[in-house]
Structure formats: C-alpha cells, structure tokens
Structure 1
Amino acid sequence: MKSVCVYCGSATGVRPLYAAAARSFSQALVEAGIELVYGGGKVGLMGVLADEAMARGGRVTGVIPELLLSKEVGHTGLTELRVVPDMHQRKKLMADLSDAFVAMPGGVGTLEELFEVYTWSQLGYHQKPVALLNINGYYDPLLEMLRHTVREGFMQQTYLDILQVDHDPQALIGKLLRYAPPSSDKWSTHRSAV
C-alpha cells in the first residue's frame, strides 16, 4: 500500500482529541511509509493532518478545486497540490491516486465522500479498503444506522463487513494492510442487493 486517501473536516470539532487523533494518524502513516492524499485544505482537521505529515517528513498530495483555492483555503506547503476544475474531478483524482480510503470525523462533505467510495466498493468499481477512524465513538450512530439497514433488508451483511473500523490509528492501518476484498463468487452473489 503506497497511499491512503483521508476524508475529514475543514473544522477541528469541539474536542481537542480530534486534532490529536489526526496528528497520531499522520504519524502512523509516515511511519508506515504511506503517502497521504487528501482534499488540499489548510484548515481544520485537514490542515492538522497535512501539517503533521509534512513535519514528520511524509509525502502529502492535496487535491483542491479552483473555487476553494481562490478562497485561500488551499494548503501551499505540501509535497504536491493539484488544482482541478470542480468537486467531481477532485474526488475522481483522489480515488485514482489512492490505495485505500479512510474517513475521520467531519461534516456532510466527509460523509458524502465516504459514501461515494463505499458505494463504488459495493458495486465492484474498486476493491480498495474503505475505513472509519472512529475517534471517541464519533461514527457509532452511523454504524448503528448501517446495521439497521442490514436488519431491514436494504443491504447485505457482506457490504457492512467491507467497512473497516477502529478507534486506534495504528490498528486501523494494520487492518488496511491486511484487507482482503470479498471473493468474486461472494461479490456476484450479493451484487444486486445494494
């Protein structure tokens, strides 16, 4: 695994532990020799994540739309900052550059990015791991909603099992490195039930 795409908030949240976890996750990525790919911002958890990785000698690629760069939230102190025309191209390029996807705490944008790559995984467009860094139980309500979706027959348990979850940054990286996608037989059996 060479690179991990991280989705996270452009705010730091109300608890200092979110920023602390972002720094810990950056440190774990650098120690594992894994490049950080993210949304290219210099504010919030995005900025904390990128700054820590750069300070530790890691490689960081940011991908940002022109509109956000022009509002001066683009991080210019990265290994590489790629500027794209719009959000659609941003998400595609981030996905193309990455071997795995991790969502940290964030808002609607983070959730939208997470669910897009999670859906792509269910549909078989990629077989890269998709994960949640569940800091302080932030994603517990979402995980319960997904379990409810399975119980109510709108999603197969196989698809819930795709999602890797851990509260510890190093443990989550270990799960990403060990991830084995569903077999092709299992894939085709449940594919119609997304």
Structure 2
Amino acid sequence: MQTTTISFTNMHTHGELFANVLRARRQSFIVQNNWDLPQAEGMEFDQYDTPASRWVAVHERGEVLAGIRLTPTTARCGIYSYMIRDAQRGILGGSIPKHLLFDEAPVDEHVWESSRVFVSHAVPMGVRRKVHAELIAGLNQAARELGATRHLGLINANWPRWYRRCGMEGEAMGPVLNFDDGEFQVVATNLVQKLH
C-alpha cells in the first residue's frame, strides 16, 4: 500500500493515478452515494480541482483505495474560493447549508481545506481502518509540507471518537448539521501539536 500526494506539477510522473482518483471519486460519490455532481469520461470533478489543489491517494497495484483533496483557503478561480467558504457565501445553490460555521470562513495561507474524502466501497472491512489511517497520515503530512498549521473539513459529526484513535487534535468550527442523510460538522485539525 502506498500514499501519494498528486499535484498538477507532478501528476505526469504518476501515470493514471490522478485519473484513477477521479474515477474512484465518481464511484464513491455519484454511483454509491447518488450525488448529483459533474462527471465526464467516467470521472467526477468540480470547480475546486484546479492547479491550486493537491490530492492524496492511498493506492495498491493501480487501484485507488482512498483519497482526499486539499485546497488552500486563499484559492480563487472565477467566483469560487474553497467549498466551505463558498457554501457559507451561498454560491453553491444550497447543497451545503450556509450556516455551517460559527464565524467567517478563514482566508489564510496556513489553513487548507480538505474535501472529497472517500474510502472505496471495495476496500474490505478488515483493512478499512488501516486504509483510513494511511489516508489521514498522508493528508496531515501533505498539509504540513504545504505550510499548513491547520486544515478544515466538513466531516461526519462522529469525528471526536476517531480523531482520538488517530492521535489528532480537532476543534468544532460550526454546528452539527443534518443533510445528505447524515450529521456533519466543520472541524479544524491542528497540525502543529505533533510533528512526527
């Protein structure tokens, strides 16, 4: 099992990995979750898949097991910045509630957003926890290498339980919200408490 951070500047060195991440996202979000998202040629993508972002992939023998996208909170592309901020500003058409944060969404070069988190449904239950741990370790390492001291994510509201298991420190940045058949909350992860 390998964990790779992909960018627009290095994707050519990883063969089909980036395309396979987008294919796995389509399988996870469009096929399995039945979300109405943009897709083309068997791949899911959106307005945040730009050269400003990075993608962390856990993969084995060409198969993408899990993935996540990192986007700087300073990103700009047309009217878009990053998903959490754009939801708060009301430009996502209400697919994510506007009141997802207690305060104004940060715009800070040391804060990145994590989004499009998935673990493939094909990953057997016996190795799912290991794959998830690899993904989180890869996310935290990639974010630190990008100069982040924190990353934000809209994640399942049961985060306090698994954050402790992963040795992570998080802080609720907004209320628990009920949408898309689940409870979610914006959480900021502190990346400076443990640098190993």
More helix by share: 1
Instruction: Answer yes or no: same fold by TM over 0.5.
Output: no
Q: TM-score, normalised by structure 2?
A: 0.29
